[in-house]
Amino acid sequence: MSFISLITGCPGLSGFGSASTAEDVTQGIDASGLTVIVTGGASGIGLETVRVLVMRKAHVIIGARNVEAANKAKQQILQQNPSAKLDVLELDLSSISSTTQFAQNFIALNLPLNILINNAGVMFCPFQLSEDGIEMQFATNHLGHFLLTNALLEKMKNTANSTGIEGRIVNLSSIAHVHTYAHGIRFNKINEKKGYSDKRAYGQSKLANILHTKELTRRFQEEGVNIMANAVHPGLIMTPLMRHSKLLMRLLRVFTFFIWKNVPQGASTTCYVALHPNLKGVSGKYFLDNNEKRPSSYARDEALAKKLWNFSEDLISSISKV
């Protein structure tokens, strides 16, 4: 997608572009029979993703830290769409124990799992450690989703095998993945306050989302698993995610208004990658404005992806043993 296409909204090779909405890219798609988990589905583009998925008749489970807000969102959707299949489970991705409990609670429902949308996140946080002692943006945006995905992989594999329907994992990344620390991931200083940058820490976590996608794909292909994993950049959208930088973002928007999206447009690439039949068999890719885009050199580094996977496993293991 060119800069001109971004501004004008002209469609790319997929037939969709930056101006396409989540309803546009899923028009005519019947998702009945599919079960989807959407993390952070109580507000912003996560909520719009949920709304459109249940409109297309999928059964959606919202994983949300604020259960009260998620249940209010659920009731709003049900008022518009009384036949919507929608449930809420508590999930705090910054917490190893909460993420593990969510996975156990979902598995206990004895439902299939066709699609996992790792949507939730935090952005530009002041330096803060999670309850497990992990830098908050890395803990929430990457590590929690890494743990959640691994905890649900057997369920997804079994669903794909028993139904013959391709499973899909969608990791929400960002174009901000290009603005990270030197060497991409500062493995030896993940939790250090010294040298911390809220912007680079966010970029690091978004780079991790793409690297996670890459290594997932390599493992799926090696195993012959019928699950695809892709990463997406939703675009610039003013949502609650920007609560730590509202003033900065509003100022930025004055000068870059022509590339900002509304929420329905922001949810489109997620819904496109999650549901569209044109992406059958497509995995390990990065999408922007409903079209494939080449990510940074760090995001294409296979060795870095493997290193991050092993680092993440070791980090979770060390926390779990405490």
Cα dist from 168 to 15, 41, 72, 270, whole Å: 21, 17, 28, 11
- CB-count exposure of residue 96 (10 Å: 0-12, 13-18, 19+): buried
Catalytic (active-site) positions:
196
pLDDT at 89: 98
Low-confidence residues of the chain: pLDDT under 50? 1-3, 242-244, 249, 253-258
pLDDT at 198: 97
pLDDT at 236: 82
Query: Whole-model pTM?
Result: 0.92
pLDDT at 9: 63
**Dist CA 214 CA 285 (whole Å):** 8
Q: Hey, where are the domains in the chain?
A: 3-234+263-321
Strands 286-288 and 291-292: antiparallel
pLDDT at 260: 65
- CB-count exposure of residue 193 (10 Å: 0-12, 13-18, 19+): exposed
Residue 259's closest CA among 2, 5, 6?
Answer: 6
Torsion of CA 232, 234, 235, 238, to 10 degrees: -150
Sign of CA dihedral 301, 130, 172, 237: negative
3-class DSSP state for residue 83?
coil
DSSP 53-81: HHHTT-EEEEEES-HHHHHHHHHHHHHH-
pLDDT at 237: 80
Q: How far apart are the first and last CA of the chain?
A: 47
pLDDT at 258: 46
The CATH superfamily assigned to 3-234+263-321 is: NAD(P)-binding Rossmann-like Domain (3.40.50.720)
pLDDT at 248: 54
pLDDT at 3: 47
Q: Which residue spans within the chain are E strands per DSSP?
A: 35-39, 59-64, 85-90, 115-118, 167-172, 227-233, 236-237, 260-261, 286-288, 291-292
pLDDT at 250: 55
Q: Which residues contact 107 (CB under 8 A, 6 or more apart)?
A: 152, 155
